[in-house]
Structure formats: C-alpha cells, structure tokens
Amino acid sequence: MLALPGSVAQAQEQISPDDFLDRAMGRTLTFTDNRTGRVVGVEQFLRRDLSVWATSTGQCSYGRIELRGAQICFIYENFPNPENCWIPVNDQGELAVISTNNFEVQRITDVTDTPVECTNAPIS
C-alpha cells in the first residue's frame, strides 16, 4: 500500500511504470484532476518512450518518457522539466498517477484508441 496525502482512498496499490505503460501503449488516456473533477488533458502513448500530450485547450506537445525506478517521467517539448515525474497507482481498480513534486492526483477517467486531436501530433 502507498500512503499519500490528499483525497485518494487509502486503498491505492503502487504499480510499476512498466505495468502502467503496458496498459497505456497504443492508447489515449484522459487525465482528470482528482480534486476538481476537471479534465487536465489527454495523452496518446505512441511508444514506450514517446507520447503526445494535449491540454484541455487542445495545445499539444511531444513528450519523451523516462522510467526512473518507481517513477514515470515526462519531458515535453514545451515543458522540459526533468522532474515532471509521477507514481502510477491502482486505486480500487482505477488507474491514477500521483505527482512526485506536489502529490497532485490525476485519475485516468477514459482509455480509448482515438488519436489525440491537434495539428502537431506525431504520426509514429
């Protein structure tokens, strides 16, 4: 069990970044802020090391994915912060990620095969 602050239920179970990527590969995930219930954005996982992120406003950015122990980190073209890392968890059957910087929780509220819609999305 992983005990983290915030409003995530105490029944979270940490999963490995590899397990998270196994579930995400080739899919598009919708990330929703746990506190507000608002969609933060969607991310299409193109390869194990590449994604495209689209904010709720439709702005897109390529992201390089790095695995660092229990963390999955994203280094985006427009946000090249190497400390943008998350711990993936399974919370009562639902996927969520918890920021290692501020313990922000984002739930994965939808998983589809629909590509991200933006003008600069990668094709492979």
Q: What is the tens place of the pLDDT at every residue in 58-111?
A: 889 999 999 999 999 999 998 888 899 999 999 888 999 999 999 999 999 999
Residue 96 lies in a domain: yes
Which residue, 21, 83, 72, 16, is CA-closest to 46? 21
Q: Are strands 94-99 and 85-91 parallel, antiparallel or unpaired?
A: antiparallel
Question: Does any domain span residue 120?
Answer: no
Say if 99 falls within a structural domain: yes
Q: What residues are paired with 45 via a beta bridge?
A: 51
| Domain coverage including residue 43 | 12-112
- Spell out the long-range contacts of 18-21 with Cβ–Cβ below 8 A and sequence spacing 24 or more: 18/67, 19/88, 20/72, 20/88, 20/95, 20/97, 21/45, 21/48, 21/65, 21/67, 21/72
pLDDT at 120 over 60: no
Inside any domain, residue 7? no
The whole-model pTM stands at 0.85
Amino acid, single-letter form, for residue 89: V
Residue 18 lies in a domain: yes
* pLDDT tens readout for residues 19-65: 999 999 999 999 999 999 999 999 999 999 999 999 878 889 999 99
Please compute Rg for the chain using Cα positions. 14
123 in a domain, yes or no? Answer: no
Rounded CA-CA distance 70/7 in Å is 21
Does 11 score more than 80 pLDDT?
no
Number of domains in the chain: 1
Residue 80: CATH number of its domain: 2.40.128.270
Give domain status of residue 6, yes or no. Answer: no
Within-domain flag for 124: no
At 26, give phi and psi (nearest 5°).
Answer: 75, 5
